[in-house]
Amino acid sequence: MPPATKLDEMDISTGKKVRLHRLFYRFGPGRGKTLLLPLDHGVEHGPSDFFDNPDSVDPDYIFKLAVKGKYSGIVLHVGVAEKYFGPYVGRVPLVLKINGKTNIPSDAEAFSALDASVEDAVRLGADAVGYTLYVGSPSQDLDFIQCAEVRRECERLGMPLIIWSYPRGEAIEKKGGRDSLYAVDYAARLSCEMGADVVKLNEPEVDNPKKSDEPKQYSGLDISLEEAVGKVVRSAGKTLVLFSGGSKISDEDLLAKAELCMNAGAAGLIFGRNMWQRLWDDALEITSKVQDLMKKA
Ligand code: FBP
């Protein structure tokens, strides 16, 4: 597998480098790897995600986990950042998620509207902004325009842009599904084309049933999961790739996923529900195991 892109190889402004340095070297596993703890689920899924571990409804609890677990950063929407970040300044970096949507309507025309700005991120002392781009959605034209405005603001203010690159909508379902290699590979490449410094992807599936409209280059592929993950990392080019955890899975499966992604060239992991849906001691234990394997990768 190709070595992951290093910060020094990225042609980015000094402001972006300073901030990415905190996320990839100063906090968390370091040595160019990042481990982020997202808490944007109150927007994306609503409070139902907090039922498994009732303590997790309190953002202060997630902050304590982020600090004690030595995460590289915590990902929040503006309201939670404004109300809870103060006591934790300097103890864990902030990534401000600046767009979002609820899961109440269907994903057919998925579009994530801005609820904050890059200037809010600067004001709050964030080290990056997060932006969700719905790849292949009928609303992607609007999304491209909104994303381009955010990118320009990021350039102006020296703020790294992390794109959550999510294939969504009926068209992608016909062409293999949102987690197919075709979809995730496209999402990886698109994030680079759109100017992301970092992209967050879901792990591609390699054993999903073939769909009739799937492009032939992908329907004929017979590759392992590790090769598929390596392929999407290459498609992202100099955009650093993070993989997400998804819904809660066993310790064994989560560690295997983390190891496979890191070995395939990922620059990091963004694991939310798999961490804070576990009770405190279990969450710290799995965090430390993930950190150990990231340090070795
Ligand atoms: P998880 O590790 O909990 O999956 O969090 C990563 C993340 O990208 C969150 O930032 C976001 O809220 C969530 O996944 C979206 O998940 P889904 O695609 O299942 O709606």
- Asked whether 125 lines ligand 1 (CB < 6 A), one says no
Mean pLDDT (whole number) for 34-53: 98
pLDDT band at residue 9 under the 50/70/90 scheme: confident
- Asked whether 179 lines ligand 1 (CB < 6 A), one says no
The contacts of residue 5 (CB under 8 Å, 6+ apart) are 237, 238, 239, 240, 267
Interval between CA 200 and ligand 1 midpoint (Å):
10
pLDDT score of 7: 81
User: Which ligand 1 atom is at minimum distance from the Cα of 40?
Assistant: 12
User: Which ligand 1 atom is at minimum distance from the Cα of 38?
Assistant: 10
Instruction: Inform me whether the pLDDT recorded for 104 exceeds 70.
Output: yes
- Asked whether 178 lines ligand 1 (CB < 6 A), one says no
User: Which ligand 1 atom is at minimum distance from the Cα of 43?
Assistant: 12
Instruction: Inform me whether the pLDDT recorded for 211 exceeds 80.
Output: no
Tens-place pLDDT, residues 224-271: 999 999 999 999 999 999 999 999 999 999 999 999 999 999 999 999
Tens-place pLDDT, residues 13-38: 999 999 999 999 999 999 999 999 99
pLDDT band at residue 297 under the 50/70/90 scheme: confident
Q: Whose CA is nearest to atom 17 of ligand 1?
A: 246
Instruction: Inform me whether the pLDDT recorded for 3 exceeds 60.
Output: no
Instruction: Inform me whether the pLDDT recorded for 6 exceeds 80.
Output: no
Tens-place pLDDT, residues 120-162: 999 999 999 999 999 999 999 999 999 999 999 999 999 999 9
Counting ligand 1 atoms within 8 A of each CB, the residue from 35, 41, 95 with the most, and so the one to mutate, is 41
Mean pLDDT (whole number) for 103-108: 95
pLDDT band at residue 207 under the 50/70/90 scheme: confident
The pLDDT mean for the chain works out to: 96
Are the C-beta atoms of 66 and 74 separated by less than 8 Å?
A: yes
CATH class (in words) of the domain with range 7-296: alpha beta
pLDDT score of 257: 98
pLDDT band at residue 220 under the 50/70/90 scheme: confident
CA distances from residue 3 to 6, 249, 265 in whole angstroms, order as listed:
9, 28, 6
Mean pLDDT (whole number) for 48-53: 98
- Asked whether 40 lines ligand 1 (CB < 6 A), one says yes
Mean pLDDT (whole number) for 187-207: 96
- Asked whether 243 lines ligand 1 (CB < 6 A), one says no
- Asked whether 244 lines ligand 1 (CB < 6 A), one says yes
Q: Whose CA is nearest to atom 7 of ligand 1?
A: 244
Percent over 90 (pLDDT), the chain: 92
Counting ligand 1 atoms within 8 A of each CB, the residue from 104, 244, 277 with the most, and so the one to mutate, is 244
User: Which ligand 1 atom is at minimum distance from the Cα of 130?
Assistant: 10
As annotated, the active-site residues are 166, 200
Instruction: Inform me whether the pLDDT recorded for 64 exceeds 60.
Output: yes
pLDDT score of 110: 97
Are the C-beta atoms of 199 and 191 separated by less than 8 Å?
A: yes
Q: Whose CA is nearest to atom 13 of ligand 1?
A: 41
Are the C-beta atoms of 80 and 137 separated by less than 8 Å?
A: no
